[in-house]
Structure 1
């Protein structure tokens, strides 16, 4: 078994048993997009295949040197939670305290190590206070090259 096969096999246990079924669906969809040992590319993402999940999807562009992150696409449910459509906004401009949270480090870890990042708990960034808990997953994707330059993100707010 090569390194990627080991990494993909480890994804079977990547989510806790308490994770929502939707998280498992997003993870399964992302895994289905692998071509051999190559991470999914943005061009591989097909909204027609995951229509029920689209409201919770966020695509985040990863810029390097220095690292900075921009919202590319925001699902309808996430627009409602944020109180506005943040597509095109830099995360550190949308949330002034962003760099003081664990989120930038989580994204860099996903980008550099080609791992997923799952979290369930209180939100790290302030939104409209219509929820007190969030569950989210960061999944690495390419954007035409060899580097991870895009995150496929799915979030549920409760």
Structure 2
């Protein structure tokens, strides 16, 4: 499967039409509100009480810049149900189907290095065989406004 879209425009005020999932549309609108005039919000600005309806579909990934890797800090309950194992606390490099050069790794890498959100279709690898792909929305977070230190990810199953 190919990407649904490239990096999302930094000045977009409405959800992208390419986002098929209402979960991802809601998350993108929320992320943009939290950005304000900045490139990206901080982790502290993502308030669970404000996104209760999408929390089961959220991942938070820590970003280690050198060497580049991504650690699962939080996995929403719906996401946890569909994964092949318990990944909380694990680095993507430790998970064979997610390590580089997988598509999810490449997408996370792009967002971590460019500091811009990315929407894409990722082949589904998990317990539920009725899904073929997931629509992923990966949005950067930064404590200093420049370096991406966390990824705010939402997933819709297609």
| TM-score above 0.5 | yes
* Pair 1:38–1:79, CA change in 2 (3 A): same
The 5-angstrom pairing of residues 57-72 of structure 1 reads 57-72=58-73
Counterpart check, 1:153 vs 2:153 = yes
Matched with 1:8 is 10
Greater C-alpha Rg: 1
Matched with 1:41 is 42
Structure 1 residue matching 2:150: 3-state secondary structure: strand
1:19 is displaced (CA, Å) by 1.2
Structure 1 residue matching 2:78: 3-state secondary structure: helix
How many pairs does the alignment contain? 150
1:14 is displaced (CA, Å) by 4.0
* Pair 1:30–1:90, CA change in 2 (3 A): same
Matched with 2:106 is 105
- Is the contact between residue 121 and residue 133 of structure 2 (CA under 8 Å) also seen in structure 1? yes
Question: Which TM-score applies when normalising by structure 2?
Answer: 0.82
1:102 is displaced (CA, Å) by 2.4
Structure 2 residue matching 1:53: 3-state secondary structure: helix
Q: Gapped runs of 5+ residues in structure 2?
A: 1-8
1:135 is displaced (CA, Å) by 1.0
Structure 1 segments of 4 or more deviating over 3 A? 10-15, 143-146
* Pair 1:28–1:133, CA change in 2 (3 A): same
Q: Which has the higher helix share?
A: 1
1:47 is displaced (CA, Å) by 0.6
- Is the contact between residue 141 and residue 148 of structure 1 (CA under 8 Å) also seen in structure 2? yes
Q: Which has the higher contact order (CA 8 A, sep 6+)?
A: 2
- Is the contact between residue 136 and residue 153 of structure 2 (CA under 8 Å) also seen in structure 1? yes
Structure 1 residue matching 2:74: 3-state secondary structure: strand
1:97 is displaced (CA, Å) by 5.4
Question: Which TM-score applies when normalising by structure 1?
Answer: 0.82
* Pair 1:22–1:48, CA change in 2 (3 A): same
Structure 2 residue matching 1:39: 3-state secondary structure: coil
